[in-house]
């Protein structure tokens, strides 16, 4: 499931005029697959990388933090509802 945070990362990268490969290289990754996975919501960047992404995309780190927090709360709420009410949600 693609999260708001994943969409945000892709939108901000594109607005910055950077390719996934350029971002990967700037962050020290050997392949753009990491960036692709983050943008598709398959995984999330490590916290230390999120701050670097904010700098790279020239966006306030607080904006990134707040969106990540909101996304995390939504996911935790969904997971808890599934456990509490059962899988038929």
DSSP state of 46: -
pLDDT tens-digit series, residues 6-65: 999 999 999 999 999 999 999 999 999 999 999 999 998 999 999 999 999 999 999 999
Rounded CA-CA distance 61/81 in Å is: 30
Other Cβ atoms within 10 Å of 46 Cβ, number: 11
Q: What is the pLDDT of residue 88?
A: 61
- Global pTM value: 0.81
CB contact set of 7 (below 8 Å; sequence gap of 6+): 39
Rounded CA-CA distance 39/46 in Å is: 13
Q: Is the dihedral of CA 8, 10, 15, 20 positive or negative?
A: positive
Rounded CA-CA distance 36/87 in Å is: 29
Q: What is the pLDDT of residue 4?
A: 87
Residue with tokens 């701050």: 51
């Amino acid at each position: 499931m693609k999260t708001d945070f994943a969409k945000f990362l892709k939108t901000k990268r594109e607005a910055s005029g950077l390719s996934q490969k350029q971002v990967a290289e700037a962050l020290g990754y050997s392949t753009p697959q990491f960036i692709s996975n983050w943008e598709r919501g398959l995984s999330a960047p490590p916290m230390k990388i999120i701050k670097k992404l904010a700098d790279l995309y020239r966006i306030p780190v607080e904006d990134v933090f707040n969106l990540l927090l909101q996304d995390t709360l939504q996911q935790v709420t969904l997971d808890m509802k599934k456990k509490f009410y059962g899988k038929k949600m």
